[in-house]
A = this chain, B = another copy of it.
Amino acid sequence: MPAAERFALYLSKHRLKMTRERRALLEHVLSVRGHFDVDDLLRRLGRTGHRVSRATLYRNLPVLVESGLIHKVEMARGQARYERMVGRHHHDHMVCLGCGDILEFESPEVERIQEEVCRRKRFVMTGHTHQIRGYCGSCAGDGRARGKER
């Protein structure tokens, strides 16, 4: 099912309305590749003439998340980033403390162990965050890797 349709369906199912703002947001969110934050999105929307307020953005990103179209990535110190999830599957992140770059990794094995741990502890998992911090190849070379954990 195309993303726009999926979104429309989600909205009507929850008695939410398909507003101009939501349409603009959806469109932009689907076209970004990579990880983005609220300000990226706001700037992007502004540039193309769609005026969407910051409040509206903050109100609707969770809706996009709930509908499964994007995913929220919680970075250190509560900075949230998002990424399109249409046509992609779950993965986790490595964040470079040098250049801020975000690499992705996936490990079915880790996911399996998580499930196993939850089963053993009678814990019902609804989500998880798994982030590796450090320095990417290019940053690790030039002394920057000496930096301490932030």
Contact = CB atoms under 8 A, between A and B. Distances in A.
A125 B97 CA distance: 10
A93 B74 CA distance: 15
A97 B126 contact: yes
A130 B129 contact: yes
Contacts of A1: none
Contact of A140 (B110, B124, B140): B124
Contacts of A124: 134-135, 140, 145
Interface string A80-93: 00000000000000
Contacts of A55: none
Interface of A: 65-66, 74, 76-79, 94, 96-97, 103, 105, 107, 109-110, 113-114, 117-118, 121-137, 140, 145, 148-149
